[in-house]
Chain A
Protein backbone atom coordinates (compact mmCIF):
# COMPACT_ATOMS: atom_id res chain seq x y z
CA UNK A 1 0.00 0.00 0.00
CA UNK A 2 1.11 3.56 -0.65
CA UNK A 3 -0.11 7.09 -0.02
CA UNK A 4 -0.29 10.14 -2.26
CA UNK A 5 0.60 13.39 -0.53
CA UNK A 6 -0.50 16.79 -1.84
CA UNK A 7 -0.06 20.28 -0.39
CA UNK A 8 -3.15 21.33 1.52
CA UNK A 9 -3.47 24.61 -0.32
CA UNK A 10 -1.82 26.83 -2.93
CA UNK A 11 -2.63 30.32 -4.11
CA UNK A 12 -1.61 32.41 -7.06
CA UNK A 13 -2.73 35.45 -9.01
CA UNK A 14 -4.73 35.44 -12.24
CA UNK A 15 -2.56 35.02 -15.33
CA UNK A 16 0.24 33.29 -13.41
CA UNK A 17 1.28 29.63 -13.39
CA UNK A 18 0.82 27.23 -10.50
CA UNK A 19 2.05 23.68 -9.99
CA UNK A 20 0.45 21.20 -7.61
CA UNK A 21 2.53 18.21 -6.54
CA UNK A 22 1.48 14.67 -5.65
CA UNK A 23 4.18 12.54 -4.00
CA UNK A 24 3.93 8.75 -3.84
CA UNK A 25 5.12 7.29 -0.52
CA UNK A 26 6.41 3.94 -1.77
CA UNK A 27 6.78 2.22 -5.08
CA UNK A 28 7.52 4.04 -8.30
CA UNK A 29 5.28 6.89 -9.45
CA UNK A 30 5.83 5.59 -12.97
CA UNK A 31 4.44 2.13 -12.23
CA UNK A 32 0.78 3.21 -12.38
CA UNK A 33 -0.93 6.02 -14.25
CA UNK A 34 -1.85 9.20 -12.37
CA UNK A 35 -5.09 11.07 -12.88
CA UNK A 36 -6.03 14.59 -11.73
CA UNK A 37 -9.55 15.70 -10.88
CA UNK A 38 -10.95 19.19 -10.44
CA UNK A 39 -13.82 19.75 -8.03
CA UNK A 40 -15.39 23.18 -7.99
CA UNK A 41 -17.48 24.12 -4.93
CA UNK A 42 -20.81 22.35 -4.93
CA UNK A 43 -20.00 20.24 -8.00
CA UNK A 44 -18.89 16.71 -8.71
CA UNK A 45 -15.27 16.07 -9.70
CA UNK A 46 -14.25 16.13 -13.35
CA UNK A 47 -11.12 14.72 -14.95
CA UNK A 48 -8.58 17.30 -16.11
CA UNK A 49 -5.63 14.92 -16.67
CA UNK A 50 -5.56 11.15 -17.17
CA UNK A 51 -2.75 8.67 -17.83
CA UNK A 52 -0.16 11.07 -16.36
CA UNK A 53 -0.36 13.74 -19.05
CA UNK A 54 -3.42 13.29 -21.29
CA UNK A 55 -6.11 15.97 -21.46
CA UNK A 56 -9.73 14.98 -22.00
CA UNK A 57 -11.53 16.68 -24.81
CA UNK A 58 -12.75 20.08 -23.67
CA UNK A 59 -10.04 20.65 -21.06
CA UNK A 60 -7.96 23.69 -22.07
CA UNK A 61 -4.29 23.22 -22.85
CA UNK A 62 -3.50 25.49 -19.90
CA UNK A 63 -3.71 22.26 -17.90
CA UNK A 64 -0.78 19.85 -18.13
CA UNK A 65 0.42 16.82 -16.18
CA UNK A 66 3.80 15.22 -15.70
CA UNK A 67 5.64 12.72 -13.56
CA UNK A 68 9.15 12.96 -12.11
CA UNK A 69 10.80 9.72 -11.08
CA UNK A 70 13.60 11.51 -9.22
CA UNK A 71 11.13 12.99 -6.72
CA UNK A 72 8.65 10.12 -7.13
CA UNK A 73 5.92 12.61 -7.76
CA UNK A 74 3.35 13.75 -10.26
CA UNK A 75 2.52 17.36 -10.97
CA UNK A 76 -0.42 19.30 -12.31
CA UNK A 77 0.50 22.62 -13.86
CA UNK A 78 -2.06 25.29 -14.68
CA UNK A 79 -0.85 28.25 -16.69
CA UNK A 80 -2.63 31.53 -17.41
CA UNK A 81 -4.67 31.12 -14.24
CA UNK A 82 -8.30 32.20 -14.35
CA UNK A 83 -10.64 32.77 -11.45
CA UNK A 84 -12.72 29.81 -12.71
CA UNK A 85 -9.75 27.52 -11.94
CA UNK A 86 -10.35 28.06 -8.22
CA UNK A 87 -11.24 24.58 -7.00
CA UNK A 88 -10.02 21.53 -5.14
CA UNK A 89 -7.67 19.28 -7.09
CA UNK A 90 -7.12 15.59 -6.35
CA UNK A 91 -4.52 13.23 -7.73
CA UNK A 92 -5.32 9.53 -8.03
CA UNK A 93 -3.42 6.38 -8.89
CA UNK A 94 -3.76 2.63 -8.55
CA UNK A 95 -2.55 0.04 -6.05
CA UNK A 96 -3.32 -3.27 -7.76
CA UNK A 97 -7.02 -2.80 -8.55
CA UNK A 98 -7.54 -0.35 -5.69
CA UNK A 99 -7.74 3.37 -6.26
CA UNK A 100 -5.64 5.69 -4.09
CA UNK A 101 -6.52 9.38 -3.81
CA UNK A 102 -4.36 12.21 -2.62
CA UNK A 103 -5.80 14.36 0.14
CA UNK A 104 -6.63 17.21 -2.21
CA UNK A 105 -5.25 20.70 -2.76
CA UNK A 106 -7.33 23.83 -2.51
CA UNK A 107 -6.32 26.27 -5.25
CA UNK A 108 -7.14 29.89 -4.57
CA UNK A 109 -6.85 32.35 -7.44
CA UNK A 110 -6.66 35.82 -5.95
Chain B
Protein backbone atom coordinates (compact mmCIF):
# COMPACT_ATOMS: atom_id res chain seq x y z
CA UNK B 1 0.00 0.00 0.00
CA UNK B 2 1.34 3.40 -1.00
CA UNK B 3 1.64 5.74 1.98
CA UNK B 4 3.02 9.21 2.48
CA UNK B 5 3.43 10.07 6.15
CA UNK B 6 4.19 13.66 7.02
CA UNK B 7 5.76 15.11 10.14
CA UNK B 8 3.62 16.65 12.86
CA UNK B 9 2.19 20.11 13.34
CA UNK B 10 4.59 22.96 14.02
CA UNK B 11 4.21 26.27 15.84
CA UNK B 12 6.98 28.77 15.06
CA UNK B 13 7.78 32.44 15.45
CA UNK B 14 8.45 34.80 12.53
CA UNK B 15 12.06 34.63 11.43
CA UNK B 16 12.59 31.05 12.59
CA UNK B 17 13.61 28.24 10.29
CA UNK B 18 11.69 25.04 9.70
CA UNK B 19 12.02 21.75 7.82
CA UNK B 20 9.03 19.42 7.47
CA UNK B 21 9.17 15.91 6.10
CA UNK B 22 7.23 13.38 4.04
CA UNK B 23 8.18 9.69 4.20
CA UNK B 24 7.09 7.45 1.35
CA UNK B 25 6.50 3.72 1.59
CA UNK B 26 4.90 0.93 -0.40
CA UNK B 27 6.49 1.92 -3.70
CA UNK B 28 9.85 2.68 -5.31
CA UNK B 29 10.61 6.10 -3.78
CA UNK B 30 13.18 7.00 -6.43
CA UNK B 31 10.81 6.39 -9.36
CA UNK B 32 8.09 8.99 -8.76
CA UNK B 33 8.04 12.76 -8.49
CA UNK B 34 6.94 14.16 -5.12
CA UNK B 35 5.33 17.58 -4.99
CA UNK B 36 4.41 20.01 -2.23
CA UNK B 37 1.10 21.86 -2.07
CA UNK B 38 0.06 24.73 0.19
CA UNK B 39 -3.45 25.32 1.47
CA UNK B 40 -3.94 28.52 3.41
CA UNK B 41 -6.82 28.64 5.90
CA UNK B 42 -10.14 28.47 4.07
CA UNK B 43 -8.47 28.64 0.65
CA UNK B 44 -7.67 26.41 -2.31
CA UNK B 45 -4.67 24.33 -3.30
CA UNK B 46 -1.45 25.97 -4.51
CA UNK B 47 1.39 24.04 -6.12
CA UNK B 48 4.78 24.92 -4.67
CA UNK B 49 7.22 22.64 -6.44
CA UNK B 50 8.31 19.11 -7.12
CA UNK B 51 11.34 16.84 -6.79
CA UNK B 52 12.40 13.59 -8.42
CA UNK B 53 14.18 11.69 -5.65
CA UNK B 54 16.01 9.47 -8.13
CA UNK B 55 18.29 12.32 -9.20
CA UNK B 56 17.07 15.26 -7.05
CA UNK B 57 15.85 17.17 -10.11
CA UNK B 58 13.75 19.96 -8.56
CA UNK B 59 11.29 22.43 -10.07
CA UNK B 60 9.62 25.36 -8.29
CA UNK B 61 6.49 27.32 -8.93
CA UNK B 62 7.50 30.91 -9.77
CA UNK B 63 5.40 31.99 -6.78
CA UNK B 64 7.55 29.98 -4.37
CA UNK B 65 10.99 30.12 -6.04
CA UNK B 66 13.46 31.52 -3.52
CA UNK B 67 10.94 31.29 -0.67
CA UNK B 68 11.33 27.58 0.14
CA UNK B 69 13.72 24.71 -0.53
CA UNK B 70 12.62 21.24 -1.56
CA UNK B 71 14.97 18.31 -1.04
CA UNK B 72 14.94 14.54 -0.65
CA UNK B 73 17.01 11.82 1.02
CA UNK B 74 16.46 8.66 -0.99
CA UNK B 75 18.32 6.54 1.55
CA UNK B 76 15.42 7.02 3.96
CA UNK B 77 12.65 7.58 1.35
CA UNK B 78 11.91 11.06 2.67
CA UNK B 79 11.21 14.38 0.99
CA UNK B 80 11.53 17.73 2.72
CA UNK B 81 10.19 21.27 2.53
CA UNK B 82 12.11 23.94 4.36
CA UNK B 83 12.06 27.63 5.15
CA UNK B 84 15.02 29.70 6.32
CA UNK B 85 12.97 32.56 7.73
CA UNK B 86 9.25 32.04 8.31
CA UNK B 87 6.63 34.75 7.97
CA UNK B 88 3.15 34.92 9.44
CA UNK B 89 1.83 34.50 5.91
CA UNK B 90 3.41 31.01 5.78
CA UNK B 91 0.70 29.81 8.17
CA UNK B 92 -1.01 27.02 6.25
CA UNK B 93 -1.47 23.30 5.80
CA UNK B 94 1.21 21.74 3.63
CA UNK B 95 0.67 18.50 1.73
CA UNK B 96 3.13 16.26 -0.06
CA UNK B 97 1.85 14.40 -3.12
CA UNK B 98 3.33 11.48 -4.98
CA UNK B 99 2.69 12.20 -8.65
CA UNK B 100 1.49 9.37 -10.84
CA UNK B 101 -1.32 7.06 -11.74
CA UNK B 102 -2.93 8.00 -9.46
CA UNK B 103 -1.51 10.71 -7.22
CA UNK B 104 -1.26 9.87 -3.52
CA UNK B 105 -1.47 12.55 -0.86
CA UNK B 106 0.06 12.79 2.59
CA UNK B 107 -2.08 13.65 5.60
CA UNK B 108 -0.77 17.21 5.75
CA UNK B 109 1.40 19.21 8.14
CA UNK B 110 -0.10 22.29 9.77
CA UNK B 111 2.41 25.11 10.13
CA UNK B 112 1.44 28.03 12.36
CA UNK B 113 3.69 31.11 12.42
CA UNK B 114 2.81 33.59 15.14
CA UNK B 115 4.63 35.92 17.45
User: Which A residues form the contact surface with B (CB < 8 A)?
Assistant: 35, 37, 44-47, 50-51, 54, 56, 90, 92, 97-104
List 6 other contacts, CB 8 Å, given A90-B44, A98-B59.
A35-B103, A47-B102, A54-B102, A56-B102, A99-B50, A101-B37
Which B residues are CB-close (under 8 A) to A104?
44-45
User: Which B residues form the contact surface with A (CB < 8 A)?
Assistant: 35, 37, 44-47, 50, 59, 61, 95, 101-108
Complex contact B106–A101 (CB within 8 A):
no
Given A97-B50, A98-B61: A47 and B45 within 8 A (CB)?
A: no
Complex contact A101–B105 (CB within 8 A):
no
Given A97-B50, A98-B47, A104-B44: A50 and B107 within 8 A (CB)?
A: no
Given A97-B59, A99-B50: A45 and B45 within 8 A (CB)?
A: yes
